[in-house]
Structure 1
Amino acid sequence: MAEFSQNRGKRRDGEVLGGAVDFLLANARLVLGVGGAAVLGIATLAVKRLIDRATSPRDEEDAKRDSTCLEDSWQELGLLKATPRLQPQPRPAALSQPVPPPAPSPSAPEGPADADPPTSPQLCSPAPSMCLTFQEKLLAFERDHVTMPVAHVALAKQLAGDIALELQAYLRNKFPELPFGALVPGGPLYDGLQAGAADPVRLLVPLALEPGLWGLVPGVDTVARDPRCWAVRRTQLEFHPRGSSPWDRFLVGGYLSSRVLLGLLRQALTASVNWPAIGSLLGCLIRPRVASEELLLEVQHECLDFPVAVLLAIAGAQAGGLLLAWPLEGLAGNFWLQDWYPAEAAQLRALDERDAGTRRRLLLLLCGVCRGHPALGRLGRGPLTQVVLHLGEQEADWGEEALGERFLQALELLIGSLERASLPCRFSRGVNLLDGLREEDVDNMGCALYWGLRAPEGLL
């Protein structure tokens, strides 16, 4: 009986609070306007949900609804498509004026003249010179966390080039029968797209395939039905039987297997190459990252640490660029992943040169912000580059003074893509760059991006 009375009391309290929320929503439009009322409505809806859950008996159906609360919350928040502002719009005086502190009691003794003033909850000093705009904070974040010192860039390039020469000599001595091409370092570090030292240097290990003996098959035309990849098929077997090519030893079902080649190179990098001796010669420490599915080398110098990604590559004109040996899963495990990075970098460079724009700087900022965020870390360079390319072709101001506004537009576009769980690749419309994300990851990213859009300083 006491429990029933307690629940009834909680329910009555919830009705009172719910009525107050409804009254607030009914009058919000008069004070805040349509846009402000929409924001307030979404926020108070979440509060009412908390009240309902706190004042209602829980059952199995309620527990199931709670498990999807986060997903519902950010998706409803994403329905609001209000244009973001770099500076918050002033609210009406009745809501924006601070409550004046109570007058001191006449009997209260005055404090000493040199007493420290109370701590103010304001975000910045009242002095105008101390208040930074979001644009200024964004540029400061770029300076402190994104831009690499010129000396570090030069050192990383020198070490990557030396490692390429050493690894090339090893492969030719270890596998003289396999026609590997010249190893070429490249990637974001060489294209001005390096956001800090976390992005790996790309060290391409090209395979020289015999013309006429190999053909490319699109992944959508194979049993894998995967538009991201291509199969490399052995051809002309009636005139050049199996064994005529040194790469025939890596065939699986008539196709050149990226998985078998990756296993061969992984074994060499982790067990055969004398990295301590090479590192001592180059004045650094080099260690293969054994736990990674990719072929990564960790390079540590006294003033710089950076990874090197060793990538087996095939040049395919039919595929429109490079094909990489990549640890794909399922039926596509023996296929080759199409590499869009060269095309992405070239298009960004061409767009920026057209109007002296800052699209590449925007990409670096997005990479730097997402990499350091617990929920956004899985948004890699690929999806972020596609977002910038989509924005980059719009007729807009791409000068430095508009960098903050373009940043917020990129957040809006990402939120919309996550709502639809779809971000098509600009170079292959059948590829959804968000396919590899779990629903939980999508929900967490959407929620983080929404609140980042409302208060972007919190992302920096």
Structure 2
Amino acid sequence: MYVTIEKPHGVFSTMNIMIHVQKKDTFTEEVMYYSGKRRGEDGIAAVIDFLLSNARLVLGVGGAAMLGIATLAVKRLIERAGRPPDEKPDKKMTDSWEELGLVSASPKLLHKGIEGVVMKQIAAATKKAELSQPIPLPSPEPLRCDIDPPQRRKRLDLCVMTFAERLQQYFRTRVCLSAEEVSVAQQRALDISTEIQAFLHSKHPDMPLGDMMLAGSLLDDLQVVKADHACLIVPLQLESSLWMPIAGEDTFLGHPQFCMVRRENLEYFPRGRSYWDRHLLGGYLSSRLVSEQLGKAVMESMNWPSLTGTLECEVRPVLGSPELKLEIQGLTQSSCDSGERFYITVLPTVRLNEMMLTAQREITGSFDYVWYQSLYTSETTRLAALDKADSGVRKKCLKTLKAVCRNCPALRKLNGSHLSNVILHMSEKETDWSESVFADRFLQAIAELIGYLETGIMPSFFKHNVNLFQGFTEDDIDEMGFMLYCAITEPEILLI
């Protein structure tokens, strides 16, 4: 028995089954089956069943899962090709991925989904195998008499794992960070932040800054896969009587997370009364001017080679980035040998009226006077409080979802904010978050994400008028939706 998988110009050929996908829903099929069975639907089903029954032997578990998805898509194509002629071929179907997006109006999704997801995974699973050559079937190994039945049964049980067991194994081996890795990264980040704060206080003593602090997923035990980034919060001390935050809804921008900071009481306290008056732009505190001053004071003025020698790791600013970012290499000897990097983002922050505003130029873009309202602290605090109240697995589920999205190229645009809000919305409906339902809540989160992607809207838990999917394109949504729908029927593909 041998298997040949080719991809000549959009034509899938598997075990002498050739299905040509053409434009305008024109499908032609040529089925050659030499066992004497009749041509047609039964012959196709028999060949497909035979292929799938042997796919795991030839392609392995990962390849078999991907081949199963491809086969499901092919069967949908055949069903559509056999529709009555009076049915309109170009009738627009539902926008959901329940039909895998294989509609005449979405040839791009078909091409990207089948070739981009399925074929790449099959190619990776069969990289070391020469499938063009005959592969002899292994002869069944006779049972050894010296192995007693209970021991043999135990070995078989180890080979068969439920999805819940696979998910737990994935969390232990690929999600969690070691305590040593986290400790080293936190200590290095703390040392660097201490040096930056001491430098700013000595070189710019008139700059009113609060105590700098580290923040982000590394400090909140939410970082996954590897410890590679942290945030250094640089709080700007503004006089509450001179500065007023303007919510994004009340500005001409209309973006609920884009805020402005207006200078007040100029008739009583003219310019120059506040240190930050030098960063005014049209009567508003400019996030661009503040970032530029900190960039010159920290990125361009500090003696980085000297700091590198002191900390025994290479520290240097990242040039050409809209963010104020530092790159650290050599946290440990192993990371130095592998070339892994650790990044610290310096984040100017303003707190006014319970609002935390950050200068994030990579988000606000060309709006020089706009600040971004961060909801990260509110989201993580709420999740921690909910888990503490019922000993739930919300954080565990969130970390697993983050690792899956980070390891899957099609899902990398889903960040921690998207996934945190999915868990928070689910917590409004679900009360049982015990360890026993961890796998169920993980799959439920996948289904919830599909629902949000179908509508193109994910409301923020704390600000319902914020659409967290606002920055996604149609292609982004199609790619993520296709991958997640495949995971509904074969969730193991997310754990590859």
Question: Under TM normalisation by the shorter chain, which class is it?
Answer: 0.7 to 0.9
Aligned to 2:378: 343
Query: Which residue identity lines up with residue 354 of structure 1 in the other structure?
Result: A
Structure 2 residue corresponding to 1:68, chosen from 106, 109, 115: 106
Q: Secondary structure at the match of 1:298?
A: strand
Aligned to 2:66: none
Structure 1 residue corresponding to 2:491, chosen from 432, 456, 459: 456
Q: Secondary structure at the match of 2:409?
A: coil
Matched, 1:253 2:282: yes
Asked whether the 8 Å contact 2:185–2:227 carries over to 1, the reply is no
Higher mean alpha-carbon deviation, 248-257 vs 182-191, is at 182-191
Structure possessing the higher relative contact order (Cα contacts under 8 Å, 6 or more residues apart): 1
Q: Measure how far apart 1:66 and its partner are.
A: 6.3
Structure 2 residue corresponding to 1:393, chosen from 414, 421, 428: 428
Structure 2 residue corresponding to 1:430, chosen from 454, 465, 469: 465
- Aligned-partner Cα distance in 2 for 1:143–1:458: 17
Asked whether the 8 Å contact 2:216–2:230 carries over to 1, the reply is yes
CA RMSD of aligned residues (A): 3.5
Q: Measure how far apart 1:375 and its partner are.
A: 0.9
| Structure 2: gaps spanning 5 or more residues | 1-21, 33-38, 46-69, 84-102, 114-136, 144-153, 336-340
Aligned to 1:378: 413
Structure 1 residue corresponding to 2:185, chosen from 137, 156, 165: 156
Q: Secondary structure at the match of 2:465?
A: strand
- Aligned-partner Cα distance in 1 for 2:251–2:158: 63
Asked whether the 8 Å contact 2:351–2:357 carries over to 1, the reply is yes
Query: Which residue identity lines up with residue 404 of structure 2 in the other structure?
Result: V
Q: Measure how far apart 1:330 and its partner are.
A: 5.8
Q: Secondary structure at the match of 1:189?
A: coil
- Aligned-partner Cα distance in 2 for 1:380–1:22: 45
Query: Which residue identity lines up with residue 293 of structure 1 in the other structure?
Result: P
Asked whether the 8 Å contact 1:217–1:233 carries over to 2, the reply is yes
Aligned to 1:321: 355
Aligned to 1:186: 215
Aligned to 2:303: 274
Aligned to 1:165: 194
Question: Which whole-Å deviations, capped at 9, do the CAs of 1:356-396 have from their partners, x for residues lacking one?
Answer: 11100111111111011111111111101101111233334
Aligned to 1:132: 161
Question: Which whole-Å deviations, capped at 9, do the CAs of 1:332-365 have from their partners, x for residues lacking one?
Answer: 4421111111111110011101111110011111
- Aligned-partner Cα distance in 2 for 1:259–1:430: 26
Query: Which residue identity lines up with residue 266 of structure 1 in the other structure?
Result: G
Aligned to 1:89: none
Change (3 A) 1:421 1:215: same
Aligned to 1:225: 254
Asked whether the 8 Å contact 1:224–1:332 carries over to 2, the reply is no
Matched, 1:419 2:419: no
Change (3 A) 1:158 1:130: same
- Aligned-partner Cα distance in 1 for 2:474–2:41: 31
Q: Secondary structure at the match of 1:405?
A: helix
Matched, 1:244 2:273: yes
Matched, 1:46 2:46: no
Change (3 A) 1:224 1:188: same
Aligned to 1:439: 474
Aligned to 1:212: 241
Structure 2 residue corresponding to 1:360, chosen from 380, 395, 412: 395
Q: Provide the TM-score with structure 2 as the length reference.
A: 0.69
Asked whether the 8 Å contact 2:364–2:371 carries over to 1, the reply is no
- Aligned-partner Cα distance in 2 for 1:297–1:48: 55
Count of aligned pairs = 380
Question: Which whole-Å deviations, capped at 9, do the CAs of 1:268-296 have from their partners, x for residues lacking one?
Answer: 44322222221321222222222432222
Query: Which residue identity lines up with residue 207 of structure 1 in the other structure?
Result: L
Change (3 A) 1:12 1:262: closer
Q: Secondary structure at the match of 2:349?
A: strand
How high is the sequence identity, in percent, across the aligned residues? Answer: 37
Asked whether the 8 Å contact 2:236–2:349 carries over to 1, the reply is yes
Equivalent residue runs for 1:11-90 within 5 Å:
44-47=75-78, 68-71=106-109
Asked whether the 8 Å contact 1:359–1:398 carries over to 2, the reply is yes
Query: Which residue identity lines up with residue 411 of structure 1 in the other structure?
Result: I
| Structure 1: gaps spanning 5 or more residues | 1-6, 26-38, 53-64, 76-103, 105-109, 115-124
Change (3 A) 1:74 1:48: farther
Q: Secondary structure at the match of 1:137?
A: helix
Higher mean alpha-carbon deviation, 369-378 vs 164-173, is at 164-173
- Aligned-partner Cα distance in 1 for 2:81–2:172: 42
- Aligned-partner Cα distance in 1 for 2:42–2:474: 32
Q: Secondary structure at the match of 2:177?
A: coil
